[in-house]
Amino acid sequence: MKKNIISRFIATALVFSTLVIGNTTAAQAKTLNPNTGKSNTTVSNLNGNNGQALNTSWGLGSKQTEYVSNNKSYDWYIDQGHTGQDSNNNCGPTSTVMALKWLKPNFIGTVEAARNTYPENDGWWYTNDVTNFLDLNNVKTYAVKQNVTENLLKSELKKGNIAILCVKMSYIPYNKNSEQRVGRFYSYDGGHFIVVKGYRVVDGKTYFEVYDPNNWDEQYNDGQEKGKDRYYLSANLVKAASVWWNYSIVIQPSSNY
C-alpha cells in the first residue's frame, strides 16, 4: 500500500528542512475536564475548534491535562477506500489532499486528480510527490523537518500547524477492541502516510491525534470513521517514523487562503 522513500527524497528534504515556519502561537484557554470536573489548562487551535471532549471508553485513560486539536469548522477527512482504481496505494495522495483541504477551505481538488498528476505506475507515492503536489498548488507555508520527535510535533501543533508523516505501521500496536480509538485498527502494517493534527496528554501519556486515510468504510458504533481522530501513542508513532522516513512535512495556516 505504501512505500519506503528515502533515496529519491533525501536531497529535497535537506533543502526544505532549512525553511522556517512562522511563530504564530495558539491561544490558551481554561476548560473543564468532563471526567474529573476540575479545571485544566488546554491549548486550542487557531480557529477555536477544540475537537471532541475526551471519552474514557476510547482507551486513552481518564485524566486529561492537555489537548491540542487543529480542527476546522468543515469536514476535511477523506477515506482512501473511495479514491479510484488505485485506492489501495492512495494513502499518499489522500493525506496530501486532506492537508490541502485543511489549508484551503475552497480547495476542490480530488485524490484521483492528485494520483493522475503523479501516477507512479499505479504504485505508492514518494514523499517528493507530496511536496511537488503542494508546490503545484502554490502552498508556500510548509517545511520538511528532519528527526521526528514528540517535542517537535507538539511544538508545531501548538502553533496551529499540522504534519504529514510517512511511517511503518507495524510499530503502531493493533487494538482488537473495535470501539477504542487508540492504536491501529486494521491488519496492514507496512509503510503509510498519515496526517497528524493534534495531541492529548492523558494520565501522563501523550497520544497524537491523526487522520489515518486507511479507513475503508470502517466506523465506530456512533457512526464516526475509525481513521478520523485516531490516537497513536507518542513513543510508538515516533518510532514508526524513525525507522521508515524520519522527516515531517509541516504545514502552517496561511491568511492567503
- Domain borders along the chain are 10-251
Question: For 82-224, where are the E strands, in sequence order?
Answer: 142-146, 162-168, 191-202, 205-211
> Cα-Cα-Cα-Cα dihedral of 232, 235, 238, 242, to 10°?
-130
| pLDDT at residue 216 is higher than 50 | yes
First to last CA, the chain: 32
Positive or negative torsion for Cα 124, 130, 132, 136? positive
Over residues 98-115, mean pLDDT: 97
pTM of the entire structure? 0.84
Q: What is the pLDDT of residues 9-58, one digit of tens each?
A: 333 333 333 333 333 223 222 232 333 333 333 444 434 455 899 999 99
Over residues 148-177, mean pLDDT: 98
- How many angstroms separate the most distant Cα atoms in the chain? 55
| pLDDT at residue 220 is higher than 60 | yes
Q: What is the pLDDT of residues 52-103, one digit of tens each?
A: 999 999 999 999 999 999 999 999 999 999 999 999 999 999 999 999 999 9
Provide CATH code, domain 10-251: 3.90.70.10
